Structure 1
């Protein structure tokens, strides 16, 4: 591909993406024919259909951009689940924005490797600045700022990676670094509730902490961890000669939007020297709005914290912001320095080498999309979106309570509403299937204390009040 061909194709691709994401009505009152809103939320394909529609073997000769895009429109787009659809109420928000797409494009075009400061100074320093910007915007503890003596932040690929980094840091601290040499994790015990993300268990497995060393702490009627139960479990494990080393608290769990009482949990962890990680992946971005800053309650006691701009904030995946107040344990767990990576800048202690803050060595210039989005959309736009989505959720909860066929089964302080059919689990499961089969909206199922639950996650940047109203009418017809 020549530079001229690249320019032409790039313009065409940008137009294609803009048409796909544009859900506004045209002169005829309908979105453009390529708009995501004109497609079903979930594709009607069977396993193997997409592959079967494409050649089995790679081409030996060059193909044109037009030929590739023809297959994109014929095969790829009809085969994707449309996370940007205005009828998206499943899982969690996974928004993209035009500025973040441009930042991602620039990152790809520059093609730098940001594994250390010396391999791309701007990549490192813009990332450090972005983590400090986010620390300020979210009102997080000063101990998480890059200028603190003990902490700092980094962009991870996902909250799952952030969780693993936290577990490895905790493991290093609990063993005084001995795990690096001997690999012995015998006796280490971790704690979380049933509402915690599956990445907790996966991270513990990767770190060599077996599932039998993961304690499920009972929760209360709000699905929040009971501190008294945590204290009792820690005491029992200590009496058995085990080593409590890691506690996870949820600040907005995926299943139920549960908020654990971190001030009490953090106090218990401090008493016993246990690493305290707070997972705010789904809801932490709400702290951009001053009146929702309560989502940070107790974070000042955390050793680590993460939240996802690639969910509610509109920065396209992948962009998880992760902070720690114990930089020494993180570096102790992850820093390896072969001769070919040594540099005078790093040895002087004047720079950050982010390869030591993550699992892989290589890293992209992800900070660009966060920088572009904050500057070009502005923080007020994020706040307006968050306030709108919370209000839509509260209005929907009011409507659901007025219909005797439904029950609201979990707190809904932000943008997730959990409903169940009063007739029982089979009715709820059938309701979800029928509603999703419509193609106009998509919901996900979870189980809360043995009860089937329909989750309604409101947060797509294209979702407006009319889409929520249509979704509610769909559920009322389908029950």
Structure 2
């Protein structure tokens, strides 16, 4: 019996991709818009003004039955999506740690998306693995670090720190990978140490690795907000005497709230006496070492076992791009490597397979955008831009220092200024309420965006400079906005 012929419906949906000319037209329009946007970002309110669910309610509740043209999507992008964007690329974005997507980084991201390569194995795209190794070695040299570091790109510092502490747990020698941690009489409680000002990603890594949050020991800081080595030494000695097993210490080069710099060299010496892994969190501050006169910030890092630096923070590389370096890649590999038969290749032992050094199997071509940024600006250009940001921070700190009723709340080490409004006679609770009101008023006006923290219980405003397009006019604008807001919330005499 002959096979029944296939019959197409009256209006068969088109198969395959969209026509190239349709893509070209939309892509050219998008690139033109991006260039105009970056050159004129000040036209937008820095912080999005939408309310929760505004974007969701403006979108259809079900997907389209038939395909829609790309230009319709671009129209909806402008009308519906853009109002829900807080503009991290705005030169007056001073909250958290400012970042920026530079032209060469955006170009690298576009090319990587076009290639859509997966670098899980060397053989699946040799350039992905080898460019990553070369680019990260360039970055190592730019920061003035010695030889012997293995690097890989992850998404964020949170994941980089998680990987580092997993390697520390592996090297401690308790076979947690094979036997786990539950119901083991032979396994002591494992301890990790960091400054009281260290980032919450360390807490999350300890929790996710099953070490237990209570086994993260936060060490007190000195008057400059730096981890106190003598307090670390005392805490570790007390833990050993109590039967705990210290496995890692995490000093910081640029803490999140205040960019304080922990004494890494001293921490390394103490940690070595307890056979501890040292992971340096330089996610923000590490790239400052590209500036020759700031290279001292990395003193002691060459003695550590791993460190993290985020080019997507202050090196003008689009999100996401975090770099984890380690001097002990074998421990990192032992923590994660797994080789099912379908991933075996004939070059298994001849090349680096990046899948072996973390949880991810699939890996995006992130190094392309970083490579293009490093080439476009060069060592001198990068150093000059970072240097300018530090100078702008000092200028802003001077404005605060010489204005009555305002005070600096932490030393200005890099490009972050911590400060607050302190009217005479105000209580700490009143100061906190006033500064919160000032920040909200400034942010609501849309010209500038700031964030806050607390230092020793004191509510503090933060102004972080890191956008490649930020100039002196933007910090002057921030200062005018702050003083105007303070005048409007100032309590009556």
Scaled by the length of structure 1, the TM-score of the pair is 0.94
CA–CA separation in structure 2 for the residues paired with 1:262 and 1:112: 38
Aligned residues: 457
CA–CA separation in structure 2 for the residues paired with 1:45 and 1:295: 41
1:461 is the counterpart of 2:468:
yes
Aligned position for 1:431: 438
Identify the match of residue 133 of structure 1 among 135, 138, 144: 138
Secondary structure of 1:250's match?
coil
Secondary structure of 1:345's match?
coil
Are 2:421 and 2:434, in contact at CA under 8 Å, matched by a contact in 1? yes
CA–CA separation in structure 2 for the residues paired with 1:219 and 1:404: 29
**Cα RMSD after superposing both structures:** 1.1
Secondary structure of 1:391's match?
helix
Aligned position for 1:390: 390
Question: Counterparts in 2 of 1:136-215, with a 5 A limit?
Answer: 136-144=141-149, 152-176=150-174, 178-184=175-181, 186-215=188-217
CA–CA separation in structure 2 for the residues paired with 1:6 and 1:429: 47
The alpha-carbon deviation at position 5 of structure 1 amounts to: 1.3
Question: Counterparts in 2 of 1:235-250, with a 5 A limit?
Answer: 235-250=237-252
Aligned position for 1:6: 23
1:77 is the counterpart of 2:82:
yes
Aligned position for 1:475: 482
**In terms of Rg, which structure is larger?**
2
Identify the match of residue 68 of structure 2 among 63, 71, 93: 63
Secondary structure of 2:122's match?
coil
CA–CA separation in structure 1 for the residues paired with 2:371 and 2:296: 25
Secondary structure of 1:189's match?
strand
Question: Counterparts in 2 of 1:33-112, with a 5 A limit?
Answer: 36-112=41-117
Q: Which runs of 5+ in 2 are unaligned?
A: 1-17, 182-186, 424-430, 487-493
Are 2:206 and 2:212, in contact at CA under 8 Å, matched by a contact in 1? yes
CA–CA separation in structure 2 for the residues paired with 1:179 and 1:225: 29
The alpha-carbon deviation at position 186 of structure 1 amounts to: 4.5
Q: Deviations over 1:150-172 (max 9, x none)?
A: xx111111111100000100000
CA–CA separation in structure 2 for the residues paired with 1:443 and 1:358: 35
The alpha-carbon deviation at position 250 of structure 1 amounts to: 0.7
Question: Counterparts in 2 of 1:244-283, with a 5 A limit?
Answer: 244-283=246-285
The alpha-carbon deviation at position 141 of structure 1 amounts to: 2.4
Secondary structure of 1:234's match?
helix
CA–CA separation in structure 1 for the residues paired with 2:188 and 2:164: 18
The alpha-carbon deviation at position 322 of structure 1 amounts to: 1.2
The alpha-carbon deviation at position 215 of structure 1 amounts to: 0.6
Are 2:390 and 2:415, in contact at CA under 8 Å, matched by a contact in 1? yes
Identify the match of residue 444 of structure 1 among 425, 447, 451: 451
The alpha-carbon deviation at position 102 of structure 1 amounts to: 1.1
Scaled by the length of structure 2, the TM-score of the pair is 0.91
Are 1:141 and 1:299, in contact at CA under 8 Å, matched by a contact in 2? no
Are 2:260 and 2:413, in contact at CA under 8 Å, matched by a contact in 1? no
The alpha-carbon deviation at position 378 of structure 1 amounts to: 2.6
CA–CA separation in structure 2 for the residues paired with 1:374 and 1:225: 32
CA–CA separation in structure 1 for the residues paired with 2:319 and 2:169: 28
Q: Deviations over 1:260-312 (max 9, x none)?
A: 00110000011111010000001111111111111101102210011111111
Secondary structure of 2:320's match?
coil
